A and B are shown apart, each in its own frame.
Chain A
Amino acid sequence: MSENAPSKLGVLVKHLQKAFRNPDGSVTEALEDVTLDVPAGGFVSVVGPSGCGKTTLLRLIAGLLPPTSGEVWVDHRRVEGPGRDRGMVFQAFTLFPWLTVYQNVAFGCRYLSVDPQGTRERVHGLLEMVGLTDAAKLYPHALSGGMQQRAAIARTLMAEPDVLLMDEPFGSLDTQTRDLMQELLLDVWSRTGKTVLFVTHDVEEAVFLSDAVAVLSARPARVTHVQAVGLPRPRTFETKSVGAFTQLRASVAQRVRAEARVTMA
């Protein structure tokens, strides 16, 4: 499943804490103390009630935000800022509107030294993997949401990251598209062997995709539970109706719901 050498460490999040200072001087605590381990080549999801700090956690790991305290390690290196080793896919549609699909994907290796011939081959390979070969010359405004997110995934892979950070990438898509995208992502993951940390508020999605699902508490976030998902792979749409799957989903949903109630109270 994984092409990574056994010495690789994946992502290690150690006692991460993040507080924001508001313009009025007050302080909002987003993360209280988050510790998380994503083994190399593994697929871990993070779920939690809305507004609990899932996105903040991902941005901290990406290095887009500095933590208040604690640290993130990616494969023996301490994270000190954004870097190409951690590719990120966002919930918002982030393709550059001034570039075609082909150019967007090629942008992924803009800061790598790859010869033009190699770039062309890799872009075509990735476009084929995400089923966008025919859309290569289109501009993003002509694409559906699902196509845009597939192109965004291809662009991220183009930079050859060790880790894929995914921030509710299918959150803005309709249910049918989302189901197909989940299967496509599992296919891409099994082919590339990347380490994936996937944030979502959709428990079914998390259980379906992951080796383990971490449940965050209401804000300020802590990891309240890590649920291992032992369902066999490859998983397909039918997996979602298997008894073991529905039980896991119900049990994780129960925990998220308990945290969501804290927010409501």
Chain B
Amino acid sequence: MSLREPWLRRPISRRWYCCLAAATFVLAFAFWSVLSWGGLVRPYFLPDPYSLLLAFVRMVTEQSLLKDVCVSCYRAILGFGIAAGVAIPLGIAVGNIPYWEALLGPFTSFLRYLPVPALVPLCILWFGVGDFEKLVIIVVGVFFQLLLMVADVSGSVPEHHIAVCYTLGGSPGKAVRDVIIPASLPGIVDGLRITLGWAWAYLMVAEVVGADRGLGYVIVRSQRFLLTADVMVGVAIFGVLGILFDVGFKVLSRRLFPWQQS
């Protein structure tokens, strides 16, 4: 008998990896095909793949689907940008200046447990159903989480890195600029990647409840008319955009921080 590595964490070849990964997709697609084309489930519960494709083409050509997608992207990115723009500097302050930690840390820890979807009715009451309400939902959903993530990452930059900066003649402000920010940048970008996913999800919640444009609106409208294929197209686009953002951040991270791989 030849010598074998224990099966736990034993690496597999690149080829095997690709085969297995593809197999899951193929299997899921096959399962779907059998259920729909095989007539096991009625079309208005589960349309077949071809109907889905037709629905997609019709929605793009006749119903300005791309415009709705753009509206959703605009809301998500703007809301997320506002939240990140404030949360990152504040997070660095909370993570490194005890006054700020005392002022904002406990309060933020409390606020971030507010269930964001439960805030939708209140936000509609206060701000109506326009873009502003969507932005408020996203900002509230992302801001507090991101602030605490940034505080945690920037607060755990090793003390000795800061001490080095001081002994080379740096001031606390320069230590923030030259040590704390570059050291915590990968962690911050990772926090952005995670919270962008949440921003996207919260936007869908807001759009499903009250909107006259956007991907979430397309989904509910289609559901009202029992256009199941259209609903599924909307959900699929949502998923694809989500994964594109995620991969984009990962690639960006690898490009920006080549020193991270060890």
Contacts and interface: CB of A to CB of B under 8 A. Distances in A.
B69 to A, nearest CB: 36
B164 A90 contact: yes
Given A96-B182, A96-B183, A84 B258 contact: no
Contacts of B38: none
A254 to B, nearest CB: 33
Contacts, number: 72
Contacts of B160: 90, 92, 94
Interface in B212-261: 257-261
A141 B183 CA distance: 14
Interface size class of chain A, counting residues whose CB lies under 8 Å from the partner chain: 20 to 34
A98 B168 contact: no
Contacts of A107: 168, 178
B158 interface: yes
B75 to A, nearest CB: 34
A90 B178 CA distance: 19
B259 A141 contact: yes
A98 B158 contact: no
B258 A159 contact: no
B169 A84 contact: yes
A222 interface: no
Interface in B133-171: 158, 160-161, 163-164, 166-170
A111 B163 contact: no
Contacts of B170: 110-111
Nearest to B261: A141
Contacts of B208: none
B187 to A, nearest CB: 12
B168 A110 contact: yes
A250 interface: no
Given A111-B174, A139-B259, A94 B161 contact: yes
Contacts of A92: 158, 160
A125 interface: no
A126 to B, nearest CB: 14
A112 B262 contact: no
A86 B261 CA distance: 33
Contacts of A86: 167
A175 B178 CA distance: 34
Interface string A102-131: 000001101110000000000000000000
A144 to B, nearest CB: 13
A108 B258 contact: no
A230 interface: no
B169 A96 contact: no
B167 A82 contact: yes
A194 to B, nearest CB: 14
Interface in B73-120: none
Contacts of B164: 88, 90, 94, 96, 155
Nearest to A85: B169
Nearest to A88: B167
Nearest to B182: A98
B52 interface: no
Interface string A138-154: 01110000000000000
Contact of B259 (A88, A97, A111): A97
A98 B259 contact: yes
B161 A96 contact: yes
Contacts of B158: 92, 94
A107 B164 CA distance: 10
B140 to A, nearest CB: 33
Contact of B169 (A64, A83, A139): A83
B168 A108 contact: yes
B211 interface: no
B168 A96 contact: no
A87 interface: yes
B179 interface: yes
Contacts of B260: 97
A94 B179 CA distance: 11
Contacts of A84: 167-169
Given A82-B166, A88-B167, A112-B169, 8 more contacts: A82-B163, A88-B163, A90-B160, A96-B179, A98-B183, A139-B259, A159-B169, A165-B167
Interface of B: 158, 160-161, 163-164, 166-170, 174, 178-179, 182-183, 185, 257-262
24 contacts: A64-B163, A82-B163, A82-B166, A84-B167, A84-B168, A84-B169, A88-B163, A92-B158, A92-B160, A94-B158, A94-B161, A96-B161, A96-B182, A98-B183, A99-B259, A108-B168, A110-B169, A111-B170, A139-B258, A139-B259, A140-B259, A141-B259, A156-B167, A159-B167
A-B pairs, 5 with minimum CB distance: A84-B169, A111-B169, A82-B166, A141-B262, A139-B259
